[in-house]
Amino acid sequence: MSFSPLIRQLIDALRGLPGVGPKTAQRMALNLLERDREAGRHLAHALESAMEGVGYCRRCRTLSETEICDMCDDPRRDDGLLCVLQSPADVWAVEMAGSFRGRYFVLKGHLSPIDGLGPEEIGIPALLERVEGSAVAEVILATNPTVEGEATAHYIAGLLKPLGIKVSRIAHGVPLGGELEFIDGGTLAHALAGRTAIG
């Protein structure tokens, strides 16, 4: 037996979600159709609105519904301190940790020459532009503590130091090979406080 075209299309679309395999996608689709059409319509509407309405902050490049996000717009935050991360999910992880009051800059992942991801692709020229001539005195490199994240941090440090900017790296308490967004808030706050200068 095979599914009719619209059901098939729904299952295929759900399979496109991260972590959803064929069995789960099928269960989700049938469950929505059979038991919860209202939730299905609500989901469709939420998806449509978010895909249309959420863009990127022009300054820090995190996900934002406004041209400049609330964090960049907040006058109480420290302009002298810039935290560089690999993804918007990492920004939320640091925000949830609650202790960082500086500004953010989001890269598009990490350097990966093998995948054709060079400095330009992940936004390093934009980072330099953001920093040069600004009030930023210290950059905290909070890329993931993976081999690629470390390599990316060192590459950026090499570009920032000649500009006379203090460069530090989160280290303490962040497990090697870990990903920032999955680290608990306490550990992450500790890692930021215990950052070390890149020598």
Contacts with Zn ion, residue ranges (CB under 5 A): 57, 59-60, 69, 72
Give SS3 for 83.
strand
Q: Which is nearer to Zn ion, 105 or 155 (CB)?
A: 105
Question: Shortest distance, CB of residue 102 to Zn ion, whole angstroms?
Answer: 12
Q: Closest separation between CB of residue 59 and Zn ion, Å? A: 5
Q: Which CB atom, from 3 or from 56, has the smaller least distance to Zn ion?
A: 56
Q: Which of 195, 116, 111 is nearest to 159 (CA)?
A: 111
- Which of 32, 103 has the CB closer to Zn ion? 103
Residue closer to Zn ion, measured from CB, 62 or 144: 62
If you search the block for the tokens 């060079």, which residue do you land on? 118
Smallest distance, Zn ion to C-beta of residue 29, A: 36
Min separation Cβ 90 and Zn ion, Å: 14
Do 63 and 56 touch, CB atoms closer than 8 A? yes
Nearest Cα to Cα of residue 18 among 96, 89, 86: 89
Which residues on neighbouring strands pair with residue 56, listed in sequence order?
A: 63
By CB atoms closer than 10 A (0-12, 13-18, 19+), residue 143 is buried
